[in-house]
Chains A and B, each alone.
Chain A
Amino acid sequence: MTLAEMQFALPDLSIASAEIFLLTMACLILIADVFSRDGKGAVTYDLTLLTLAGAAVTTFAISTGEVSYTFSNMYVSDLMGDLLKFMVYISVIFVLFYSRAYVRARPEMARGEFYVLSLFATLGMMVMISASHLLTVYIGIELLSLSLYAMVAMNRSSVAATEAAMKYFVLGALASGLLLYGMSMLYGAAETLEIPMLAARLLSGEMDLDIVLFGLVFVVAGIAFKLGVVPFHMWIPDVYHGAPTAVTLFIASAPKLAAFAVAVRVLVCGLVAAYYHWQTMLIILCVASLAVGNFAAIAQTNLKRMLAYSAISHMGFMLLGMASGVFMENPDFVPGAYASAMFYVVTYVIASLAAFGTILLLSRQGFEADEISDFAGLNRRNSWYAGIMMMAMFSMAGIPFFVGFFAKFSVLVAVVTAGHLWLALVAIFFSLVGAYYYLRVVKVMYFDPPASAEPIETTPDVKLLLSVNGLAIALIGIFPNSLMQLCADSLAGSILF
């Protein structure tokens, strides 16, 4: 190797400036937290929010809409990434606001680490979203997962939380192993880990397809684990249930966006030539998730657990869109399917934030409002919060005018366009099953007498954000056009065939 070839070109750091900013700030906050001795993490909290806002501004400022690579093509910046990162910041900010009171009431969690770990998890998601190299994907997933394992275990004295963290860690490590093993197979076949080059080599048809498919199975399993779809869903109910509600809220929101991005980057961008195979796998995962998620949710009395199973079914529904993307008959609709999946995941996160936000709102010191019966008569205690929870439930059930309906609708259009009419029938059957348990929550809130007369106290900022969250469910439902279009436009630029 000559000297000239060894010359090291400085990568274009500006593309990743949001990540760099966030990492720097996370490290600084970690130090600042050690020196701030108020013990409640107030300074850390403020700095964390400022950091997220700063990252949002940075992402917005450097967003050009062009696809650009850096770090030797390991890192990509495009409109889809920017949009998803933006959603990640917003949802993490909402999570932090909602969890503030909950965390303060629990001394073991009320430490700076909670916020620093949130930031590292956010960084992990950003890396996942912007990955254009299989190793970058892996690093992002690990950064997110390790932060989450620690966050789940933060409430040390809680047996349930410790157990959940242990399960999450063991199963998560297994899934990471699967993913890494699959990636090594792909590397063996394609001799590259760069996603665009992988796609090009696969399309050229010079590779041994058997090895690719062997690797593909593991990669799909790894991604399915992160999304939490059947049969890789085992961790979801226990972790959602056992984790402190603030952490459950975190897990149930932003990481879904990052997992979606990984699915698009690896499967749609990287392995498009093997589309037939992964679409078939995804269809199996979808149907299994819809069935298990919806039926198991009916039997739950714990709201967090019910929402966990509902999350499984929602991710299954989202994958329906992913599984309907590429087909031979009608190329016009191709980006539409992924756009519908993206719209689905974004709107799911909005509804999920509102639902868990309401649970956090009702939780107090030493009391977790996570049984469905804790919501009894909420309408009489406070009709506004009951209304927000109702909107979240109807949105998840897919009833118009709430945004979840249009998400389901656009996925169904994609599925029918792809000619999978039977799959659409399966999907609507399970939507009907799903409607039952969401209606049950509404029933408990509206039809039953109140469980306690205690007034619901909260700070004005949480009240405002929760109201914004609830209104977003209704308003995006009435005017879904812009967000749908944004999802479609951002994906159109990112999916290169």
Chain B
Amino acid sequence: MSGLPILSLAIWVPVFSGLAVLLFTGPDRNAPAARGLALAGALAGLLVTLPLYAGFDTATPAMQFVEFMPWIRRFHINYHLGVDGISMLFVILNSFITVIVVLAGWQVIESKVAQYNACFLIMSGLLNGIFAALDGMLFYVFFEASLIPLYLIIGVWGGPRRVYAAFKFFLFTLLGSLLLLLSLIYLYLAVDGGSFAILDWHQLPLSLAEQKWIFLAFLAAFAVKVPMWPVHTWLPDAHVEAPTGGSIVLAAIALKLGAYGFVRFSLPIAPDASYAFSGLIIGLSLIAVVYIGFVALVQEDMKKLVAYSSIAHMGFVTLGFFLFSPLGVEGALVQMISHGFVAGAMFYCIGVMYDRVHSRQIADYGGVVNTMPKFAAFFLLFAMANAGLPATSGFVGEFMVIMASVQFNLCVAFAAALTMILGAAYTLWMYKRVVFGAVGNPRVAGLTDITAREFLVLALLAAAALGIGLYPQPLTDVMHSSVDELLRHISVSKIQ
């Protein structure tokens, strides 16, 4: 590999593009320039991450593309980056979604265009930082800093109840992450001489009591972010009020942070506590899958429906992690990637309709297929993927997790498999009411089909959803050795 600091580029190219957009195209009269510059920044951000996949060595579970520089010497905090087969995929996914988001806001956002795009670009860099950080504090700093742009996105460009949603989002996540901060400080002091290196913490022996407290503090941070039942209530509000781009990033990337936290922190740092609490997590996950699935069924608002379906799908992810089998963990990871594309696409589809009709109520639609046939075709594909139809990406992860849960316990498997029915029920029923039937009202009759730009976005997402569904091998190959190493690591007790 060339000596380029690829991960640093993945973080700082978007951040500096964002700042450039802010500086050079401030007022709204420069809006076209702001959009162009933002798109260039997002594409550059995506390009610099591609060598991560091309140059990735799938044979080793070790961290790759490592960069190391002392940052705050007093507390032994380092600018330490690196990715393994798990985190690398999210860096690329995030950079890809950023391009989609910039395109999604192209015509819709008309006020403060530069600030809007800058927020997304800066957030994209910060999110890459979260996935690439190998230093606990660096992770935390990125983790919390990413709240600011999303708070502004929801609050400035959001819907009628945006203030409430933005505050709820910020304070919910902050509560969790402050407990995370405390446990990071505790771990720092627990290492001889003090260290914030996550890999040091993986090797750190801890008593069961310590592990349990640390696990619970991590759980507070990550469960809110996933979000798991019962701390999920901020998500539907945030999704409904956020602009389309905000919803896409929230669903595709922000939700993955919590699940990623489990893999990077909870499981390897507190393995014994993870086993001890696995019943609790599996229980909460199944509640998310089944109960939230039913909640999704009765939603009148399309965005809310997809938001609840996201919670149910993320329940699958946490379920997969805590089955402690390769199939479960890999299935969960595939599900995370797939959900990134599919949920992002679902929110984009809703955004496309909302931009034309300015309503998200299912009742305001009906017969969209008559006026928007191309759109309806795409929407159908994503609805099927959301329901977990075989040959779409949604199926692969769910199937793997269900297989793993059959190995684990038949009752768990039964509850988990309900998602196949529930997912199909709420997604397809919504689809039927929105798209099929006679043209419901004059506003639907006046709809125009998707533009070339919208077609491009949908086609990109459709290619991803179908590609993973038909041929998931490249994805699982990359994560294989990292997952094996993770499971080997957590099977060894840390109690001494």
Q: Are A416 and B186 in contact (CB under 8 A)?
A: yes
Q: Are B73 and A428 in contact (CB under 8 A)?
A: no
**Interface residue B171 (Cβ < 8 Å from any Cβ of A):** yes
Complex partner residue of A443 from B71, B74, B166, B185, CB under 8 angstroms: B166
Q: At the interface with chain B, which of A9-17, A174-182, A230-238, A407-415?
A: A407-415
Contacts of A421 in B (CB 8 A): 182, 186
Q: How far is the CB of B284 from chain A (nearest CB, A)?
A: 23
A475-491 interface bits toward B, Cβ cutoff 8 Å, 1 = contact, 0 = none:
00000110011001000
Docked pose: A336 CA to B189 CA in angstroms: 13
Q: Are A447 and B155 in contact (CB under 8 A)?
A: yes
Q: How far is the CB of A87 from chain B (nearest CB, A)?
A: 19
Q: How far is the CB of A380 from chain B (nearest CB, A)?
A: 8
Q: Are B71 and A399 in contact (CB under 8 A)?
A: no
Given known A401-B145, A446-B155, contact A436–B171 (CB-CB < 8 A): yes
**Interface residue A331 (Cβ < 8 Å from any Cβ of B):** no
Q: How far is the CB of B298 from chain A (nearest CB, A)?
A: 31
In this complex, the interface size class of chain A, counting residues with CB under 8 Å from chain B, is: 35 or more
Given known A399-B147, A443-B166, contact A481–B73 (CB-CB < 8 A): yes
Q: How far is the CB of A60 from chain B (nearest CB, A)?
A: 24
Q: Are A412 and B148 in contact (CB under 8 A)?
A: no
Q: Are B189 and A417 in contact (CB under 8 A)?
A: yes
Given known A383-B26, A405-B141, A428-B181, contact A481–B171 (CB-CB < 8 A): no
Docked pose: A399 CA to B142 CA in angstroms: 10
Q: Are A413 and B155 in contact (CB under 8 A)?
A: no
Which of B115, B144, B178 gathers most chain A CB within 10 Å? Answer: B178
In this complex, the interface size class of chain B, counting residues with CB under 8 Å from chain A, is: 35 or more
Docked pose: A484 CA to B155 CA in angstroms: 34
Given known A399-B148, A481-B73, contact A425–B182 (CB-CB < 8 A): yes
Docked pose: A481 CA to B79 CA in angstroms: 12
Q: How far is the CB of B185 from chain A (nearest CB, A)?
A: 5
Given known A443-B155, A488-B74, contact A400–B145 (CB-CB < 8 A): yes
The closest CB in chain A to the CB of B154 belongs to: A447
A406-447 interface bits toward B, Cβ cutoff 8 Å, 1 = contact, 0 = none:
100110110011000100110011011001100100110011
Q: How far is the CB of A414 from chain B (nearest CB, A)?
A: 10
**Interface residue B418 (Cβ < 8 Å from any Cβ of A):** no
Residues 101-124 of B contacting A (Cβ, < 8 Å): 112, 115
**Interface residue B163 (Cβ < 8 Å from any Cβ of A):** yes
Q: Are A435 and B174 in contact (CB under 8 A)?
A: yes
Docked pose: A383 CA to B162 CA in angstroms: 20
Docked pose: A33 CA to B35 CA in angstroms: 56
The closest CB in chain A to the CB of B142 belongs to: A400
Q: Are B182 and A443 in contact (CB under 8 A)?
A: no
**Interface residue B179 (Cβ < 8 Å from any Cβ of A):** yes
B192-226 interface bits toward A, Cβ cutoff 8 Å, 1 = contact, 0 = none:
00000000000000000000000000000000000
Q: How far is the CB of B277 from chain A (nearest CB, A)?
A: 21
Q: Are B148 and A394 in contact (CB under 8 A)?
A: yes
Residues 399-419 of B contacting A (Cβ, < 8 Å): none
Docked pose: A221 CA to B297 CA in angstroms: 62
Residues 77-133 of B contacting A (Cβ, < 8 Å): 112, 115
**Interface residue B188 (Cβ < 8 Å from any Cβ of A):** yes
Contacts of B26 in A (CB 8 A): 383
Docked pose: A432 CA to B331 CA in angstroms: 36
Q: How far is the CB of A453 from chain B (nearest CB, A)?
A: 15
Residues 80-128 of A contacting B (Cβ, < 8 Å): none
Q: Are B182 and A416 in contact (CB under 8 A)?
A: yes
**Interface residue B156 (Cβ < 8 Å from any Cβ of A):** yes
The closest CB in chain A to the CB of B183 belongs to: A416
The closest CB in chain A to the CB of B71 belongs to: A481
Docked pose: A409 CA to B77 CA in angstroms: 12
Contacts of A446 in B (CB 8 A): 152, 155-156
Contacts of A394 in B (CB 8 A): 148
The closest CB in chain A to the CB of B137 belongs to: A409
**Interface residue B471 (Cβ < 8 Å from any Cβ of A):** no
Docked pose: A196 CA to B95 CA in angstroms: 60
Contacts of A379 in B (CB 8 A): 112, 115, 156
Q: Are B72 and A439 in contact (CB under 8 A)?
A: no
Q: Are A481 and B72 in contact (CB under 8 A)?
A: yes
Q: Are A443 and B75 in contact (CB under 8 A)?
A: no
Q: Are B73 and A485 in contact (CB under 8 A)?
A: yes
Residues 7-51 of B contacting A (Cβ, < 8 Å): 26
Q: Are A480 and B72 in contact (CB under 8 A)?
A: yes
Docked pose: A161 CA to B215 CA in angstroms: 53
Given known A412-B185, A439-B167, A446-B156, contact A428–B178 (CB-CB < 8 A): yes
Docked pose: A416 CA to B185 CA in angstroms: 7
Q: How far is the CB of A70 from chain B (nearest CB, A)?
A: 32
Docked pose: A412 CA to B185 CA in angstroms: 8
Residues 336-350 of A contacting B (Cβ, < 8 Å): 336, 339
Contacts of A410 in B (CB 8 A): 74-75
Q: How far is the CB of B408 from chain A (nearest CB, A)?
A: 36
Contacts of A429 in B (CB 8 A): 178
The closest CB in chain A to the CB of B162 belongs to: A447
**Interface residue B175 (Cβ < 8 Å from any Cβ of A):** yes
Complex partner residue of B185 from A401, A406, A413, CB under 8 angstroms: A413
Docked pose: A480 CA to B186 CA in angstroms: 21
Q: Are A428 and B179 in contact (CB under 8 A)?
A: yes
Residues 43-97 of A contacting B (Cβ, < 8 Å): none
Docked pose: A205 CA to B273 CA in angstroms: 49
Contacts of B170 in A (CB 8 A): 435, 439
Docked pose: A336 CA to B75 CA in angstroms: 10
Contacts of B375 in A (CB 8 A): none
A358-395 interface bits toward B, Cβ cutoff 8 Å, 1 = contact, 0 = none:
00000000000000000000010001000000000010
Docked pose: A406 CA to B141 CA in angstroms: 10
B137-177 interface bits toward A, Cβ cutoff 8 Å, 1 = contact, 0 = none:
10011101101100110011000001100110011001100
Q: Are B189 and A447 in contact (CB under 8 A)?
A: no
Across the A-B interface, the 7 shortest Cβ-Cβ residue pairs: A400-B141, A428-B178, A447-B155, A400-B145, A416-B185, A481-B72, A484-B74
17 intermolecular pairs with C-beta atoms under 8 Å apart: A399-B144, A400-B141, A409-B137, A412-B185, A413-B185, A421-B182, A424-B185, A429-B178, A432-B174, A435-B174, A443-B167, A446-B156, A447-B155, A447-B163, A447-B166, A481-B72, A488-B74
* Known interface pairs A409-B137, A428-B178; 18 further A-B residue pairs with C-beta atoms within 8 A, sorted by A's residue number: A400-B140, A401-B141, A401-B145, A405-B141, A405-B144, A409-B181, A416-B185, A429-B178, A435-B174, A439-B151, A439-B167, A439-B171, A442-B151, A443-B166, A481-B73, A484-B72, A485-B74, A488-B74
